[in-house]
Amino acid sequence: MLIAGNWKMYKGPAEAAEFCLGLREQELDGVDVVVCPPYLSLAVAVQLLAGTEIAVAAQSVHWEDSGAYTGEISAQMLREVGVYGAIVGHSERRQYFGETDETVGKRVHAALQAGLFVIACVGETEEERETGQTEDVLRRQLSVLEPDDNLVVAYEPVWAIGTGKTATPEIAQEAHAFIKSRLDLPVLYGGSVKPENAGALLAQPDLDGALVGGASLDLESFTAICLAATRS
C-alpha cells in the first residue's frame, strides 16, 4: 500500500522542514510513504528524511535532459538532489498548463529512463463522467503508458479534486478495475482523500493506495491516512 502526499504549491523550505521533522517521528511501518513538495522544498525534504523509509518525489519532470525550457526541471536534476520519483500528468497540470496525453507520455518515459519512480495520473471530468465517457477518457490517457516496475497509475476523478466531493468506494473500485484491465500496474486513488473516508476507499480490492492532496498538508491527517492504509 502506497500513500503519496502531493503538497501542490504549498510549503516552502521552512514549512517543509518542520513537516518532515514531524513525519520522521511517526510510526509508519507497513505502508510505503512518499511526500511530493514543490521544487524549492525538495532538497530540504530529501535531507531531513534521509535514513528513513519515506521517499521524496517531485510534482512534475521534463522529458529532456537539458535545454532551453524555461521553468522546467529535468530528471537528472532531480536525481542529483536525491529525489526518488515524480508525479506526472496531474489534472491541474493538464487543466492549467497545457499538459496533454502526448507530453505525459514523454515525461513518463524520460523519468523512467533516468531511474525515477513515476506516479502517472489519469481521470475524467464531471462532464465526461455524466456523458458516459469515463472509460473512453481513461483508455485514451492510458494509451501513452507501458508497464514498468517503477510506474504506478493514480486515478483522480477531476470532479473530486479539491471540491470536497469524493468518488464512492464503489465508483473508485469500478474505475480501478477498468484501469487494471488495460494495464497491469498498481493504481492509487486521488480525489479528496481524508482520514474519514480513507479506510473505506483503501479497503476496495483494486485500490493499492492513495495520492493525497489537501489532507497531506497537515501532519496529523496525513499520518491518519497512512495508518488507515496499514489496516487495509
Helix (H, G, I), strand (E, B) or coil at 31: coil
Helices (H), 25-130: 39-49, 75-81, 91-97, 101-113, 126-130
Residue 177 exposure: Cα atoms within 13 Å on the Cβ side: 8
Please name which of 75, 53, 57 lies closest in space to residue 66, comparing C-alpha atoms. Answer: 75
CA atoms within 13 A on the CB side of 17: 7
Comparing CA positions, the residue from 173, 181, 118 lying closest to residue 150 is: 118
Query: In sequence order, what are the residues at sequence separation of 6 or more whose Cβ sits closer than 8 angstroms to the Cβ of residue 203?
Result: 169, 232
What whole-number distance in Å separates Cα of residue 183 and Cα of residue 146?
Answer: 7
Cα→Cα distances 202→85, 94, 150, 180, 188, Å: 23, 26, 21, 16, 9
Q: For 142, left (φ over 0), alpha (ψ -120 to 50), or beta?
A: alpha
Residue 163's pLDDT is what? 73
Range of the domain at 182: 2-230
Tens of pLDDT along 123-168? 999 899 989 999 999 999 999 999 999 999 999 998 887 677 778 9
- Residues annotated as catalytic (active site), given as ranges: 90, 156
Number of independent structural domains in the chain? 1
Q: Which residues pair with 74 in a beta bridge?
A: 62
Nearest to 45 by CA among 72, 6, 2: 6
Distances (CA, A) of 229 to 56, 89, 106, 164, 198: 19, 24, 31, 21, 8
Write the CATH number for 63: 3.20.20.70
Which tens digits make up the pLDDT trace of 112-130?
999 999 999 999 998 999 8
Per-residue pLDDT of the chain (232 residues; tens, 9 = 90+): 999 999 999 999 999 999 999 999 999 999 999 999 999 999 999 999 999 999 999 999 999 999 999 999 999 999 999 999 999 999 999 999 999 999 999 999 999 999 999 999 999 998 999 899 999 999 999 999 999 999 999 999 988 876 777 789 999 999 999 999 999 999 999 988 999 999 999 999 999 999 999 999 999 999 999 999 998 7
Spatial CB neighbours of 21, under 8 Å, sequence gap ≥ 6: 48
